[in-house]
Structure formats: C-alpha cells, structure tokens
Amino acid sequence: MSKNMTKSMKIYCFLIRGRVQGVGYRAFVHQLAEKLQLSGRARNLADGRVEVLLQTSPDMIEDLCVELRRGPSFAKVLDVELSETNLTKLDNFQIS
C-alpha cells in the first residue's frame, strides 16, 4: 500500500442494529474485512447491536455500508450508524 493510500485511511465506527447477534454477523464482517484487506474489529454490545471498527479510505464507505446492511443470511439489519473515530491504527482484524 502506498504512503498516500495509508494516509487517507481512517478508522470508522459502524453501529449495526437489528437481529445481528447470534447469526454470524461478526464472522461475516471478518470475511468482508479479509476480502478487502482491511484492519478492524467487531464486537457484540450489551444493547444487542454490533460495533464494527474498520480502517479504510473514505471512498469505500458507501460500499461498506451496503455490505453491512446486507449482512449474513440470518441477520436482519435495521440500521447502520456511521461515525469517524479518533483512533489512528488497527492491526489485523479481531472479533471480541
């Protein structure tokens, strides 16, 4: 990856609401991140949402939102909330 590409990469937080726990949603995000060679993490939240952090370029956000809204076959995504974080670097992809 070029230095310019690395500089344009930011870490975004996606909060996914709906039937997204217990349906393979975090594994789905992990596969998506590996396919796109993105670092990040996915974790279940106590309120039933899934939090996804992805380090990506801003021009990929729209496509990522489409994929995150689609989710795995047993999920039913109702909403994807997006925000930019102050984090500067994530290594690999982690599921917690």
DSSP per residue, 24-36: SHHHHHHHHHHHH
**Residue 70 a catalytic site member:** no
Q: Digits of tens for pLDDT over the chain (96 positions)?
A: 434 445 578 999 999 999 999 999 999 999 999 999 999 999 999 999 999 999 999 999 999 999 999 999 999 999 999 999 998 888 889 998
Instruction: Give me 70's structure tokens.
Output: 């689609």
The domains of the chain, with CATH numbers, are 9-85 (3.30.70.100)
- Cβ-based neighbour number of residue 24 at 10 Å: 16
What is each CA distance from 41 to 6, 90, 95, in whole angstroms? Answer: 18, 8, 6
Exactly one of 4, 44, 69, 86 is catalytic; which is it?
A: 44
Exactly one of 26, 41, 43, 49 is catalytic; which is it?
A: 26
**Residue 19 a catalytic site member:** no
